[in-house]
Structure 1
Amino acid sequence: MRSRSLVYDVAALLARAGVGVVFMAHGWQKIEAGVTATGESFDALGVPLPTAAAVYAAFVELLGGAALIAGLALPVTGALLFADMVGAFLFVHADRGLFMVDGGRAQNGYELVVALGMAALLFAAGAGGRLTLDAWIVRRRSARPDGPRDADEEEDAESFVESLRRAEPKPADTKPISTKPISTKPVSTKPAAAEPAEPPPAKKAPSRRSAPAPAPAPPAPPAGDEDDKPVAGRRKAANRRRAGETRPGTPPADDTDGAPS
């Protein structure tokens, strides 16, 4: 695979050199004849804007051919040379046939224009190989950041770092810095909802089976009767006198209940 790549690069270099030499020869021919004379010949052939076309063709062919050989800016160079050949085909060679010389007579056909234009298009598309100035520039740019620095640059960098270390104040008390991440949770401003108060315990209804029923109230005594006064001792004595009952060994009760006369 490596030998094939090397063969391809060498073949591409030879192709660029051959096509570039042909372009340079035609460009130099136009410049040697003069831009004014070249413009007049273009005008006779029916080329629009003959002077501008002569300047473009002369310098693009000369400088573009040299750039092809060196492999410099191949996409741009190939595109410019392809446009030059398209103009030459349309305005000069399209109606003159394929061959440059036919039957010993110069026909000025478009065979050379087509070959040069297609080769320029290939080089513009990236068929120039790796033996080019473009590839060398790319390799140098990619290797430059990783390459060794100059001694002066290294010395300046070291002196700058040393000056920063000297100027840095030493802290009196060095405490380890906490690496705990700070919470970024937004603080809620909504008031906290009050907790619902617990309801008081329900009072138990008294059981009808355990609580005794209230006793019925005694009938009210008739009005005007002394014996019915709410005095337990006097009511009992009156009842005893009415019944005439006496206990043996017990003296009869006094009507005054021991009250002084």
Structure 2
Amino acid sequence: MKSLLGNHAPASAQDAVLLLARVLLGVVLVSHGWQKVVTNGFGGTADGFDMMGIPAPYAAAVFAGLVELVGGALLLLGLITQVVGVLVAANMAGAFWFAHRGTEVMASEGGWELVGVIGLAGLVFAAVGPGRLSLDHALSGRQQVGEPVLSKEAREPARA
């Protein structure tokens, strides 16, 4: 990530920003997922989806609720972040297409701004990963961002 002056931002600053963004997105997703899974239940969420014309409303409620609740928790931990990012983006694409397409921008008017920002954030994490302050990084055994998981010797075939 380059600063306005053309210098590379310190990795620690990048990691801190990714951590903050991941935690914020995770909290938002867990909150929305909790509402779908626990507060309204899958049946209540499916009823709401049905009124919006979402096809297969019960399956959509289960998918959306679990992606948001479980995916949000995984983002908080920084675990399988890139997979979760793809699922979040897909979930928000569906929310846009079936519930917010053709509406105003502002969420207060039923618009798409929230699903757009959440979907884009999911794509960002799918593309760049969680940063070094994550379980993904801790479990990978990498010492620095961009360092291969396997050493050069381990990647080269053995010679007889």
RMSD over aligned Cα atoms: 1.8
Alignment counterpart, residue 131 of structure 1, candidates 130, 133, 140? 133
Rg larger for: 1
On the 8 A contact 2:92/2:118 being kept in 1, the answer is yes
Shift of 1:126: 1.8
Q: 2:90 aligns with which of 62, 78, 83?
A: 83
Shift of 1:62: 0.4
Aligned to 2:18: 12
**d(CA) in 1 for partners of 2:18, 2:95:** 25
TM-score, with normalisation over the residues of structure 1? 0.50
Q: Distance in 2 between matches of 1:122 and 1:10?
A: 15
The runs of 5 or more residues in structure 2 that have no matched partner are 1-6, 143-148, 152-160
- What does 1:203-218 correspond to in 2, within 5 Å? none
In 1, distance between residues paired with 2:136 and 2:26?
16
- Aligned partner (choices 67, 76, 96) of residue 74 of structure 2: 67
Q: How does 1:122-161 map to 2 (within 5 A)?
A: 122-139=124-141
Deviations 1:99-146 (A, max 9, x none): 012xxxxx1110000000000100011242111111111117869xxx
Amino acid at match of 1:111: E
Which residue is 2:4 aligned to? none
User: Displacement, 1:2?
Assistant: 9.1
After superposition, what is the alpha-carbon deviation per residue over 1:47-99, rounded to whole angstroms, capped at 9, x for unaligned? 01000000001111001011111110111110011100000000001122100
Q: Which residue of 2 aligns with 1:241?
A: none
Give me the TM-score of the superposition, normalised by structure 2.
0.81
1:122-180 CA distance string (max 9 Å, x none)? 0011242111111111117869xxxxxxxxxxxxxxxxxxxxxxxxxxxxxxxxxxxxx
Matches within 5 A, 1:215-226: none
1:25 corresponds to 2:27: no
The answer (yes or no) to whether the contact 2:81–2:125 under 8 Å persists in 1 is yes
Hey, which of these two has a bigger chunk of helix by percent? 2
2:103 to 92, 96, 111: 96
Q: Is the 8 A contact 1:74 1:126 kept in 2?
A: no
User: Per the alignment, do residues 133 and 2 of structure 1 end up closer, same or farther by CA in structure 2, a change over 3 Å counting?
Assistant: farther
The one of 65, 74, 90 aligned to 1:58: 65
- Superposition deviation, residue 3 in structure 1: 6.9
Q: Compared with structure 1, are the counterparts of its residues 3 and 60 closer, same or farther at alpha carbon in structure 2 (3 Å cutoff)?
A: same
| Counterpart contact for 2:81–2:129, Cα < 8 Å | no
Whether the aligned pair in 2 keeps the contact of 1:79 and 1:124 (CA below 8 Å) is yes
Give the number of aligned pairs: 138
Cα deviations by residue, 1:191-220 (Å, 9 ceiling, x for unpaired):
xxxxxxxxxxxxxxxxxxxxxxxxxxxxxx
The residue number in structure 1 matching 2:41 is: 34
Percent pairwise identity: 43
Query: How far apart in 2 are the matches of 1:134 and 1:24?
Result: 19
**Which letter maps to 1:70?**
L
SS in 1 for 2:128: coil
Q: Any idea what SS the aligned residue of 1:56 has?
A: helix
